[in-house]
Structure 1
């Protein structure tokens, strides 16, 4: 029996949940294979399994949030979409970061009462691996936070691999790890830095900034406000 026949046979035996798990598993194995081939990185089987369950758990959380959003009108949906976002502690600000298509970056900074301190959107010509793009978004946000004079920051994003690499202070020689090194080095500009992973649906404001603005190559910063096209997502 060939691999194609085996896969087709197993696929027919699985329910919807099993098929989802199988697809994510195949994707995780392929991702691990690429890291071994292109980054000369050893990947443990346990890490692949953890990656699968993390992704499946995030997908399930996003589905549940989506069901909540569908129950109301557009305004209520915007509220439901952001209901998982939490304000930082007093004296801290939270940066929500995201990387979009064609290397767009979106960052929104909010304080302990949920008010917008500033927003950032960048569009570049470069094309990067998605992990690198997400890591660069973190770096862009932290550089802007340093320019704005913040000293205690929570950096929150929906790319689990970036957040785990930062928490573990990942080392290596790949392009991805070099950006992680740059991020860790810039931490010296702050009194305290924390990393937080969040589901994509609760990273909606940064996601909108990354995917909608700016429309051309360049950099835009908004102080104490955000563009109308994304400001409705701020309702909690």
Structure 2
């Protein structure tokens, strides 16, 4: 089996390799549902899940742009960095979270308009202990709630956590902590005129990341309007859009 995989891997293009790796991950995810939750799994759902995730990665601006040959063009696109403007009339809210080694989580949120101007930002440190994906979902919830408080009505929420964005797009249901936070996010965002869920690479989420790690040991919440701290403004200045 190993020899076959290695031989096929060398023959694959970049996109095919992505499909293979995501397929392995999807199989493992569905295997866990069978083993730990005794849930029946439709093989077609595994294939659909694989294709959806690959398309989502391509759409996040971090893939090879759909090139099968894995050539120079795909390598250049794969290195592309930079925040991208939302469509006219929308604001984009980027979010990120970090799990602290000494317990608790830190959250970062930044809102920019369609010209790239910073409208507001949030840095938050909480004592609760969450799994990384739950922390990322809580960061999304923080962004949605602050956007609502600010009166933003057409909002694009962007995160570098693909699992959370995928769950929001699917309006995933369940009894886990993550599923409950997803429910809270969907309920809180229902008042928007329009809301879009967007995945991006971590390198394109640098401003929210900087805000999430601004006060790593101080529990509390700080909100900025217009002018962010200098260290975060530096991240904005180096963003490409």
TM-score range, shorter chain: 0.7 to 0.9
Is 1:100 matched with 2:98? yes
- Given that 1:29 and 1:48 are in contact with CA atoms closer than 8 Å, whether structure 2 keeps it comes out as no
TM-score by length of 2: 0.73
- Alignment counterpart, residue 225 of structure 2, candidates 223, 226, 230: 223
Match of 1:75 in 2: none
Query: Paired residue for 2:164?
Result: 162
Judging by fraction of residues, say which structure has more helix.
1
Deviation at 1:42, TM superposition (A): 5.3
Give yes or no for contact 1:98–1:134 (8 Å, CA) kept in 2.
yes
Deviation at 1:180, TM superposition (A): 1.1
Q: Distance in 2 between matches of 1:214 and 1:167?
A: 31
Aligned-residue offset at 1:95: 0.5
Hey, what's the Cα distance between the residues in 2 that align with 1:99 and 1:47?
28
Cα RMSD between the aligned structures?
Answer: 3.0
For residue 28 of structure 1, the aligned residue among 26, 29, 32 is 26
Question: Aligned pair count?
Answer: 215
Q: Counterpart of 1:143?
A: 145
Whether the 8 Å contact between 1:98 and 1:206 is mirrored in structure 2 is yes
Structure 2 counterpart of 1:179, from 170, 178, 181 = 181
Q: Which runs of 5+ in 2 are unaligned?
A: 65-73
Aligned to 1:100, what secondary structure does the other structure show? strand
* Structure 1 residue 165: Cα displacement: 2.2
Structure-2 change in CA distance of 1:55 and 1:153 (3 Å): closer
**Partners in 1 of 2:38 and 2:227 — Cα distance?**
44
Gaps of 5+ in 1: 1-5, 69-80
1:51: how far off?
Answer: 5.5
> 5 Å matches for 1:113-124?
113-124=115-126
Q: Deviations over 1:73-115 (max 9, x none)?
A: xxxxxxxx31x5114423x321111222333211100123211
Determine the C-alpha separation between the residues in 2 that align with 1:42 and 1:230: 47
Q: TM-score, normalised by structure 1?
A: 0.74
